[in-house]
Amino acid sequence: DAGVIQSPRHEVTEMGQEVTLRCKPISGHNSLFWYRQTMMRGLELLIYFNNNVPIDDSGMPEDRFSAKMPNASFSTLKIQPSEPRDSAVYFCASARDENIQYFGAGTRLSVL
């Protein structure tokens, strides 16, 4: 299996632009997670899907952030409009019922 696949690996954008991060979970996994990692706050869970349905989005910072999972093999995290404080590494992870989460390689986002 190829593991969790995230794209792009790096994204540099200007403040105010829309940013879309993409994730393909491991085939057969029914849970998907978006995390944000910064030096100041460490790893934070943003949103969690189970069977394509958002279960908990309490970690989403504000309305500028939105996430979708239209099917079992694809999810997006969108930031519109982006701000410099959104600069971070964004991870996607997927899991089956045994609670082991497998992470993608992350997307490093820089908002100038």
Partner 1 sequence: AQTVTQSQPEMSVQEAETVTLSCTYDTSESNYYLFWYKQPPSRQMILVIRQEAYKQQNATENRFSVNFQKAAKSFSLKISDSQLGDTAMYFCAFITNNAGNMLTFGGGTRLMVKP
State the nearest-atom distance from the C-beta of 95 to partner 1, in Å.
6
Long-range contacts at 82-85 (CB < 8 A, ≥ 24 apart): 82/13, 82/14, 82/15, 82/16, 82/17, 82/18, 82/19, 82/109, 82/111, 83/15, 83/111, 84/15, 84/111, 84/112, 85/111
Name the percent of the chain in helix, strand, coil, to the closest 5.
5, 55, 40
Which of 64, 66, 81, 103 lies at the binding interface for partner 1 (CB under 8 A)?
Answer: 103
Could you tell me which stretch among 13-21, 63-71, 73-81, 101-109 binds partner 1 (CB under 8 A)? 101-109
Total number of residues that touch partner 1 (CB under 8 A): 21
Residues in region 29-48 near partner 1 by CB under 8 A: 31, 33, 42-43, 45, 48
List contacts with partner 1 (CB under 8 A): 31, 33, 42-43, 45, 48, 50, 55-56, 89, 91, 93, 95, 99-103, 105-106, 108
